[in-house]
Amino acid sequence: MNARYLGRKVLLLVPVLFAVSALSFLLLNLLPGDPAIAILGPSATEQSVAALRHDLDLDQPLPVRYVRWMGHTVTGDLGRSYVSNQPTVEAVRQRLPVTLELLLLSQLLALALAIPLALLAASKPNGLLDRASTSTAFAFLAIPNFMLGVLLIYLFAVRVHLFPATGYTPFHDHPIENLRAMALPAVTLGVAELAVYLRLLRSDLIATLQQDYITMAQAKGMSRNHILLRHALRPSAFSLVTAAGLNLGRLIGGAFVVEYLFALPGIGSLTVESIFKRDYIVVQGTVLLVAVGYVLANFAVDVLYGVLDPRVRHARATA
């Protein structure tokens, strides 16, 4: 990987992060009426509202407030909950590993199944496996997350007691229990992704396999597996990588639902709980976190393009 290429990418990241932070900041200010009353509720006393207004710098002009808020944010202070008095950073620190594990497991599951299935399907387009995987993929795409989750709970937690229906065990306490608890949520979240990845990679692979350089590799006497894995897979992975990055937004939305459904203590359930409790400072913190995570994931995708295709790397480094 080329240092100049990476340097340019990082530089481009700065204004995007800036914009994202500004939007998260404005979130609190877009609440109708006085944010302090919105947070404390209509029954709050005049004094406590005034105290909160002062606390939140609401008596200052907007630009001043933004600069102060940014100052706190970059030093790792996201304010504190007005419900539990817990610092937002602390709440996030507790909840984030659960969400990250859920996202990671569901993506690993989706990719670990999608890549070999796509390779098999593309090596015999319209063969039995290709058709079977296509129709299964579409079926899974059509089922909403929560329905699949309920179905899985019914089948594998209620009928057959393979997995717990709800609850969470931290990984470092009990790895096996942790994975058992995460299995159904990860499947629920990953299945739709699996279907998308499978379809994308399959069609890109089929297109790649028509290329001259594949015929050339055949003419060199390379085996079918070697050609699929060494020659065709990498140039076919662009849509897959793009989708994996762009999907993250959808995936986080899905994670909110799945966490709620399986009672997992992640960022999603933290956000949902905080919204119900009108704990807007915490909401602001989690929104900022999700937005920054999304930007960073797409940054990673951009860097991956360069890893996948040397032409991108060189063109962008010299552009």
Partner 1 sequence: MKPVLLDVAGLSTTFPTGRGPLIALDDVSLSLDRGRTLGLVGESGSGKTVLARSIMGLLPAHAHRQGHVWFEGQDLAALSPRDLRDIWGREIAMVFQDPMTSLNPVMKVGRQITESLRHHLRMGKDEARTAAVDLLDSVGIPEPKRRADEYPHQLSGGMRQRVTIAIALACWPKLLLADEPTTALDVTVQSQILDLLQAKQAERSMAMILVTHDLGVVAGRTNEIAVMYAGRIVERADTATLFAETRMPYTESLLASIPRVERPSHTRLQAIAGRPPDLVTRPGGCRFAPRCPYAQPRCAEEEPPLLPAPTPGHTFACWYPVGTPAGDEALARNTASNEASNKAADRAADGR
Interacting residue ranges for partner 1, rule: CB under 8 A: 211-213, 215-223, 226, 230-231, 234-235, 308-311, 314
In the block, residue with structure tokens 């937002």: 88
State the nearest-atom distance from the C-beta of 232 to partner 1, in Å: 9
* 63 or 221: CB nearest partner 1: 221
State the nearest-atom distance from the C-beta of 216 to partner 1, in Å: 5
Burial class (CB in 10 A: 0-12, 13-18, 19+), 279: buried
State the nearest-atom distance from the C-beta of 318 to partner 1, in Å: 11
d(CA 20, CA 124): 45
Task: Please give the angle made by the CA atoms of 250, 297 and 292, to the nearest 5 degrees.
Answer: 85
* 72 or 311: CB nearest partner 1: 311
Helix axes 88-123, 175-208, angle to 10 degrees: 40
CA 197 to chain centre: 15
State the nearest-atom distance from the C-beta of 236 to partner 1, in Å: 10
**180 CB-near residues (< 8 Å, 6+ apart):** 163, 164
- If phi > 0 it is left, if psi is from -120 to 50 it is alpha, else beta; for residue 96 that is alpha
Other residues' Cβ atoms within 10 Å of the Cβ of residue 198: 26
CA 6 to chain centre: 22
State the nearest-atom distance from the C-beta of 126 to partner 1, in Å: 11
State the nearest-atom distance from the C-beta of 11 to partner 1, in Å: 25
* 131 or 226: CB nearest partner 1: 226
State the nearest-atom distance from the C-beta of 219 to partner 1, in Å: 4
* 184 or 232: CB nearest partner 1: 232
Cα-only R_g, the chain = 24
* 172 or 224: CB nearest partner 1: 224
* 64 or 216: CB nearest partner 1: 216
d(CA 77, CA 68): 11
State the nearest-atom distance from the C-beta of 316 to partner 1, in Å: 13
CA 148 to chain centre: 19
Other residues' Cβ atoms within 10 Å of the Cβ of residue 163: 19
* 112 or 315: CB nearest partner 1: 315
* 54 or 314: CB nearest partner 1: 314
Residue of 133, 111, 82 whose CA lies nearest to 240: 111
